[in-house]
Structure 1
Amino acid sequence: MGFLSSRRKKSRLAPELDDQDLGKLLKSLMATTKTGMIATTDLCVAQISRLLHQHQGDWDRRTHRMGVLADYLAETHLSRSWAAREPRNADALELHAWTQVARARRQGSLEEAAGVVDMCLRAAEIAPDDPTPWVILLEVARLEGWERSQVFGVWNEVLARDRWNREAYMSMLGYLSPEEAGSRVQVLDFVDSLGLRMPANVPCAATELTAQVFQYHCLIGRGGVEALVARNHWSQTMATQALDRVAHTWVQPGFLRHAKALADLNILAYALMAADRRRDAAAVFEVLGGVVTPWPWQVGGDPLTEFDQAHRRAAPGM
């Protein structure tokens, strides 16, 4: 990961994180995706296709780019038009399927679920080494409440192609949570099994810390006394160890190299501030350079406001 300057920069939401080529494409798409003109669609498709063909075989980078584009295009017709015009193009099928899932996450239900599944399976047939169709199917499985054996079947298909796919691990955390189809014990078992074999700087390195933040938010969400004492979560052994394992290594230049490294550093900064480890958090804020991700900051309110307030509290002398 190319670290940003340590000089204080204005905080900003940047879905592309430090992917400059993706950021340029998003700016280009901003003024053109909603016009509906055929020529504009052709131009956007050409730009998207060119970006997705960069870094062939870098599934981590591809998953990040596909997910960001899907979120951005979820309320447009561009991906549908591309998939209709090129039904044998795996990129087009995957992007359209993912935009449908992104829209479903916002609306609460997946329209044309069978069609989304079909697109994913067709893309998987066209590009058998690509984990992306299976990553999307994992989200479909959660939205549609598939049987547990089916969910784990899709999960294994992802791992067979991309062992440490961050998106898939985060999706499984959600699936195994008490809010979906699992329990706190199942989340802990999942994290423990991962820790036994996972290298320290793979794309899914934030799985354990994310699980701890989920638990912290669960306590806050219960309200009453539990919410008042939720901060005590970070003094418990498992939470403390999760922070200790990464607080000093993640900020080292070159240690984290995956596409969503800045997203993981946002999680780390948030958790360190929740644990009142301000000095450690200050070092993370410096590396972030003002790049903010909505989650987990949005749990407390406006993410930019929450980030800025936390950043100020972490400053020496505060």
Structure 2
Amino acid sequence: MPFFSTRGRTPRLAPELDDAVLGKLLKRLLSASRSSMPGETEICVAQIAQLLEQDSQNTDRRAHRLSVLAEFLAESHLPGAWAKQEPRNARALALQAWSQLERGRGNGRMTDAAATWKACLLAAELDPADPSPWVVMLGVARLERYAEREVFAVWNEIVARDRWNREAYLSMLAHLSPQEAGSLAQVLEFVGSLRTRMPANAPCASVELAAHVMQYHSAVARGGTEALLARNHWNGERAAQFLDRALATWPSPAFFSHAAAVADLNLLAYALTAAGGPRETAPVFDAIGGKVTSWPWRVDGDPVLAFETARSKAR
């Protein structure tokens, strides 16, 4: 990944991260959404299909592209148009279902969870090795508060296909949190089970750090003395050790190979900033360039401004 490029250093929200081909398609789709040219839908659908068939064996890259496109197109007619055009295309079905999930997240509930679930099952039948339909089903199960046995049944289907699926682990972390269906004890148990088995550079390597950031945010949100002392979370043995290990390895351009590595670096930069170590954070910002993720920076207001302020302190 071109972490140390001298280009693109001006901070901007970059949902595509360092996927330049995806970034070009997002710009093309944005331009098309403002156009009324005949045949525009067909052209856009063809470009989406072509992108999702590239690197067809790289399920991690395809999942990243699917998730970004789904959020970008959540209110668009394009996913539905593609699925209608090719009703037995696993990619089309997965994108349609994922975009419906993203729309549901925005609204707080699914419009038709059963239809989305059915589309995922068909996509899984058409491509049994692909974990993405099951990742979408996990999201639906969380949003619709399905029974715990259904959530874990879907979880088992995902890890059987992709042992370290990043999206699935972060989704399950959120499900087990006190804000959803679990507790802090369940979060700690989940993270602890990963700590001894997961490769250090696995696609889901950020799960433990995400758990720490969630605990930090919870303390800040409670206000009062807890908010004032929230920074002390990063002085705890587990948190401090994790930050030290991540700082020593994550910024290296050869360490990570998964598609969302830049998102993990954003999370690390945020955590180091929250811990009060601005000078230590400089190598991480260098590795990020100017590619800003909305979360976790948005918790402090405008994400680009929060990122830029933290980066200026680091320098």
TM range (shorter): over 0.9
Q: What secondary structure does 1:101 align onto?
A: helix
Q: What is the alpha-carbon distance in structure 2 between the residues aligned to residue 159 and residue 133 of structure 1?
A: 13
Which residue does the alignment assign to 1:198?
Answer: 198
Contact 2:220 2:228 in 1 (8 A): yes
Contact 1:6 1:287 in 2 (8 A): no
Which residue does the alignment assign to 1:224?
Answer: 224
Contact 1:131 1:162 in 2 (8 A): yes
Q: Tell me how far 1:96 sits from its aligned partner.
A: 0.5
Which residue does the alignment assign to 2:54?
Answer: 54
Task: Note if 1:273 corresponds to 2:273.
Answer: yes
Q: What is the alpha-carbon distance in structure 1 between the residues aligned to residue 77 and residue 56 of structure 2?
A: 26
Counterpart residue type for residue 255 of structure 2:
F
1:68-87 alignment runs, 5 A limit? 68-87=68-87
Q: What secondary structure does 1:146 align onto?
A: coil
1:253-268 alignment runs, 5 A limit? 253-268=253-268
Task: Note if 1:151 corresponds to 2:180.
Answer: no
Contact 1:219 1:226 in 2 (8 A): yes
Q: What is the alpha-carbon distance in structure 2 between the residues aligned to residue 37 and residue 75 of structure 1?
A: 19
1:223-262 alignment runs, 5 A limit? 223-262=223-262
Deviates more, 1:15-24 or 1:34-43: 34-43
Q: Over the residues paired in the alignment, what is the CA RMSD in angstroms?
A: 1.3
Counterpart residue type for residue 12 of structure 1:
R
Which residue does the alignment assign to 1:284?
Answer: 284
Contact 1:203 1:258 in 2 (8 A): yes
Contact 1:12 1:292 in 2 (8 A): yes
Counterpart residue type for residue 298 of structure 1:
R
Q: Tell me how far 1:38 sits from its aligned partner.
A: 6.0
Change (3 A) 1:15 1:205: same
Q: What secondary structure does 1:295 align onto?
A: coil
Contact 1:33 1:78 in 2 (8 A): no
Q: Tell me how far 1:7 sits from its aligned partner.
A: 7.0
Q: What secondary structure does 1:294 align onto?
A: coil
Which residue does the alignment assign to 1:90?
Answer: 90
Change (3 A) 1:9 1:192: same
Q: What is the alpha-carbon distance in structure 2 between the residues aligned to residue 111 and residue 35 of structure 1?
A: 28
Which residue does the alignment assign to 2:14?
Answer: 14
Q: Tell me how far 1:286 sits from its aligned partner.
A: 0.9
Q: Tell me how far 1:125 sits from its aligned partner.
A: 0.4
Map Cα deviations across residues 7-63 of structure 1 (whole Å, 9 max, x no partner): 782111111000011011111111113556661111011101110011112111011
Map Cα deviations across residues 94-121 of structure 1 (whole Å, 9 max, x no partner): 1010000001111111111100000000
Q: What is the alpha-carbon distance in structure 2 between the residues aligned to residue 161 and residue 52 of structure 1?
A: 19
Q: What is the alpha-carbon distance in structure 1 between the residues aligned to residue 123 and residue 34 of structure 2?
A: 26
Which residue does the alignment assign to 1:111?
Answer: 111
Q: What is the alpha-carbon distance in structure 1 between the residues aligned to residue 163 and residue 213 of structure 2?
A: 23
Q: Tell me how far 1:79 sits from its aligned partner.
A: 0.7
Show structure 1 runs of 5+ residues with no match.
Answer: none
Show structure 2 runs of 5+ residues with no match.
Answer: none
Which residue does the alignment assign to 2:208?
Answer: 208
Q: What is the alpha-carbon distance in structure 2 between the residues aligned to residue 274 and residue 302 of structure 1?
A: 16
1:115-194 alignment runs, 5 A limit? 115-194=115-194
Q: Tell me how far 1:245 sits from its aligned partner.
A: 1.9
Map Cα deviations across residues 238-291 of structure 1 (whole Å, 9 max, x no partner): 111221221110011211111010000000000011111222211101111111
Deviates more, 1:37-46 or 1:128-137: 37-46
Contact 1:164 1:202 in 2 (8 A): yes
Which residue does the alignment assign to 2:100?
Answer: 100
Contact 2:124 2:134 in 1 (8 A): yes
Counterpart residue type for residue 46 of structure 2:
A
Contact 1:83 1:96 in 2 (8 A): yes
Q: What secondary structure does 2:245 align onto?
A: helix
Contact 1:201 1:255 in 2 (8 A): yes
Counterpart residue type for residue 177 of structure 1:
S
TM-score, normalising length: structure 1:
0.96
Task: Note if 1:3 corresponds to 2:11.
Answer: no
Counterpart residue type for residue 78 of structure 2:
L
TM-score, normalising length: structure 2:
0.97
Change (3 A) 1:8 1:56: closer
Contact 2:3 2:286 in 1 (8 A): no
Q: Tell me how far 1:4 sits from its aligned partner.
A: 3.5
Contact 1:34 1:76 in 2 (8 A): no
Counterpart residue type for residue 197 of structure 1:
R
Q: Tell me how far 1:224 sits from its aligned partner.
A: 1.1
Q: What is the alpha-carbon distance in structure 2 between the residues aligned to residue 144 and residue 157 of structure 1?
A: 19
